[in-house]
Structure 1
């Protein structure tokens, strides 16, 4: 994996990058930065995304009370209800490595703060 030189060198970020590498894989030839979106840039969706977030919750003790998977990820499998999209869930919001890193440092997911 190729990391951008601007990434902070902290234990939490090193652990996060290791978890991301193990769970979803990281590109070999493209530099990964805090702005890299795991859903839009790296294609993480469905059950992979669900498993990733569960792993982050357990590994880092991350509180996900304010987290809404549908804001960021397509659901797993064929969902017959996708024809009728819920209000506010039409387009997916980029979920960046920086957002995950901030949430880990804070210990909880705060959608408004992380998306600002």
Structure 2
């Protein structure tokens, strides 16, 4: 995996990158930065996304009270409701490595703060 040169060199970020590599795999041919979206750029969705967030919650003690998986990820399996898209649910919000890093440092998921 190639990491962007401007990534902070912290233990937390190194651990986060290791978890991401183990859980969803990081591309070897693409440079990964804090702006890399795990859902849109790396294709993490469904049960992989659910497992990843549970792992981050356990590994880092991350509180996910304000976290809405449907905001970022397609659901696991076949969802008959995806055939007719509900108003306002067509696209997914990018969930970046930087957002995960900020949430871990804060200890909690604050959607409004992370998406600003």
Tell me the TM-score normalised to structure 1 length: 0.96
d(CA) in 2 for partners of 1:61, 1:90: 31
SS at match of 2:44: coil
d(CA) in 1 for partners of 2:13, 2:2: 14
Shift of 1:10: 0.3
d(CA) in 2 for partners of 1:98, 1:87: 28
d(CA) in 2 for partners of 1:39, 1:90: 14
Q: 1:34 to 1:63 in 2, by over 3 A?
A: same
The gaps in structure 1 that reach 5 residues or longer are none
d(CA) in 2 for partners of 1:32, 1:14: 13
Q: 1:97 to 1:64 in 2, by over 3 A?
A: same
Shift of 1:61: 0.4
Shift of 1:83: 2.8
RMSD in angstroms over aligned alpha carbons?
A: 0.9
Structure 1 counterpart of 2:112: 112
Shift of 1:72: 0.5
d(CA) in 1 for partners of 2:27, 2:114: 24
Shift of 1:63: 0.4
The gaps in structure 2 that reach 5 residues or longer are none
Shift of 1:87: 4.2
d(CA) in 1 for partners of 2:104, 2:16: 9
d(CA) in 1 for partners of 2:88, 2:50: 20
Tell me the TM-score normalised to structure 2 length: 0.96
